[in-house]
Structure 1
Amino acid sequence: MELNKTEILLEKYFEGQSSIEEEKELQKYFASANIAPHLKQYTPLFGYFSQAAAQELKREIKVLPRIQDKKRTTNLWLSIAASIVVMLVAGTYVYFDKESPSEELGTYDNPEAAMRETQRALAMLSSHVNVGIESVIVLEQYEDSKNLIFKQ
């Protein structure tokens, strides 16, 4: 291979633009005996690729015994049983922890007392809504001021 062509291929290789065929040409060049002195620094790089391609994996793969499958199924059944127990406990708690509906719902036997409580609840709701409306008004004033300053 010409020295000029080798240098061009090296440049393409280091820029990541070389093809597989060009990389094989470089590997053949660096595997040969006549390498230019200023390119000898790249010999270990391309020599590594040829050595790595020749290596084979000779590691044995161990097969786990069937005990692992038994553990997995045992854990599955234990988790299912635990979730059923949790659901039964929660259901039992909800069933036996009921309070009388009159205490929970706030019902009244006296219509006047019911009217007073309703008015009190609506007044409290109105005050909270008014606070929210005041906040919106402040935000609108801020937006108007910002638009005047920045003239959008």
Structure 2
Amino acid sequence: MELDKVEKLVEKYFDATTTVAEEESLRDYFSREDIPAHLEQYAPMFQYFAVAKEERYTKKLALTKTPKGSFRTLYKWVSVAAVAVFTIGVYFYNSTPKPVTLAEEFTPEEIASAQEALALLAINFNKGTEQLYHLEEFQKNTNKFLTKE
């Protein structure tokens, strides 16, 4: 094979545009002993491809079946149970009712009587706080006499 033709084929090989027949001719060329010095770097690669093409795996592969109670079966049943629980939850879901205002729940008479009762409570509460003010004044005066300031 001519040297310039081999160089062009190597270029085409690295550009990934060679045919199977051209790759075979390159393997044949680089399997020879008299390779030019500038192409010797490619020889081990093409020699490896020629040897690797003939390799075969001869050991037997042990193909085992998975047991019936495997993880895959468990996974299927767990997913079925999850869907069932979700469906039951959606069926029995009670949405929260719309909040009811006081005007909708009680009559105007009931609201008025409640306001009246709260007003009486406020009046009595204020009377109690007035008594506390007098008690506070009494406490201050007592402390003056006891400590004699």
Higher-helix-fraction structure? 1
Q: CA RMSD in A?
A: 3.2
Aligned ranges 1:5-24 → 2 under 5 Å: 5-24=5-24
Would you say how many aligned residue pairs link Structure 1 and Structure 2? Answer: 106
Secondary structure at 1:67 match in 2: coil
Q: CA deviation at 1:54?
A: 1.4
Counterpart Cα distance in 2 of 1:75 and 1:14? 49
Q: 1:61 corresponds to which residue? A: 61
AA of the residue aligned to 1:92: F
Give 1:1-152 correspondences, 5 Å limit.
Answer: 1-67=1-67, 70-94=70-94, 99=97, 103=100
Tell me the SS of whatever aligns to 2:18: coil
Matched residue type, 1:27? R
Q: TM-score, normalised by structure 2?
A: 0.55
| Identity value in percent | 32
- Residues 79/17 of structure 1: CA separation in 2 closer, same or farther (3 Å cut): closer
In 2, Cα distance between equivalents of 1:29 and 1:69: 58
Aligned to 2:113: none
- Which structure: larger Rg? 2
Once the 2 structures are TM-superposed, how far is the Cα of residue 86 of structure 1 from its aligned partner? 2.6
Under a length normalisation based on structure 1, what TM-score does the superposition of the two structures give? 0.54
